[in-house]
Amino acid sequence: MNTNKIRLSPTSGLNLYRDCPRCFWLAYNKSVHRPRGIFPSLPGGMDLVIKDYFDQYRGTKNTKGQAHSASSGQVHSASSGQASLFEETNLPPELEGKVEGKLMPDLKLMNEWRNWRTGLVYKDDKLNAELFGALDDCMITEDGKYYIPLDYKTRGSAPREGDSERYYQTQLDSYGLLLESNGYPVANFAYLVYYYPEEVNRGGIVSFNVKPVKIMIDHERVRKLFEDAVNFLRNDPLPEHHSRSECEFCVWNERMLEFD
């Protein structure tokens, strides 16, 4: 039995478990990983510039009539004019009226959450296991009571109905659990903000469509999934092959064995 501490991420850990338990078991217990192709660098580059763009709007009047400066990370008194400015510029204009809440004002804390080395961790001492993740961004409700996970997604076309929940539900549920377990009350929803190209303009400037999608989240659902995944790894026997499963990696391996 594997008694070492287990650390899982929402994407390479829990999503892999949901996709194929056998591949998951082999990756974490035997370091046998799925073959990887060339990883595209464009989404990562887009992610960085989108974060910088959102940070330009990070600043809000709080409930005590103070304003937070994203550039300094400090709280200071605000005049009515300053407060109005903060309220107007707290969201990128393309999101105004399309999402509930405002950007979390603390840039220093946000940058900690964005780094998997300093980000949020959910710890289960009984299981000797941890779930960790790095948020792209986070919002707060207008009354400042609840946190709202937000994740940027870059794709080639508009998202289809149901794709957001199918591919990203576990990721957003996990972010809710990470926040809640660290003392940050979470709303029952999160946002995906999709960026997909519209046209190329003169000078090589690409225009993007921006589409926010609201997804209901349940951190108790992912807590159960996390426990199931950890307990699955603790089992010694290698899981059976899926019988012509939907896992393309397992199917490829089975077909290759036919030629040995």
- Which residues are paired to 53 by β-bridges? none
- Which residue ranges make up each domain of the chain? 6-57+92-257, 58-91
Q: Are 187 and 146 in contact (CB under 8 A)?
A: yes
pLDDT value for 1: 63
CATH architecture of the domain formed by 6-57+92-257:
Alpha-Beta Complex (3.90)
Number of H helices, E strands in the chain: 8, 10
Burial of 19 (0-12, 13-18, 19+ CB in 10 A): middle
Contact 104, 69 (CB under 8 A): no
pLDDT value of residue 21: 92
Query: What is the distance, to the nearest Å, from the Cα of residue 235 to the centroid of all Cα atoms in its chain?
Result: 28
230 φ, ψ to 5°?
-65, -45
Please give the pLDDT value at position 229.
Answer: 97
pTM, entire model: 0.85
For residues 169 and 215, what is the distance between their CA atoms, to the nearest angstrom? 8
Q: Name the token pair of 163.
A: 């794709």
Query: How many other C-beta atoms lie within 10 A of the C-beta of residue 237?
Result: 6
Number of residues assigned to the chain = 260
Question: What does the buried/exposed string (b/e) look like for 103-119 if buried means 16 or more CB atoms within 10 Å of the residue's CB?
Answer: bbbbbeebeebbeeeeb
Three-class DSSP category at 18: helix
Cβ–Cβ contacts within 10 Å for residue 34, how many? 17
> In this predicted structure, what is the pLDDT of residue 75?
32
pLDDT value of position 28 = 95
Run means of pLDDT, 10 residues per run, the chain, 260 residues? 88 94 93 86 90 88 41 35 44 94 95 96 97 97 95 94 95 98 98 96 94 97 98 84 72 82
The token duo for 22 is 């056998």
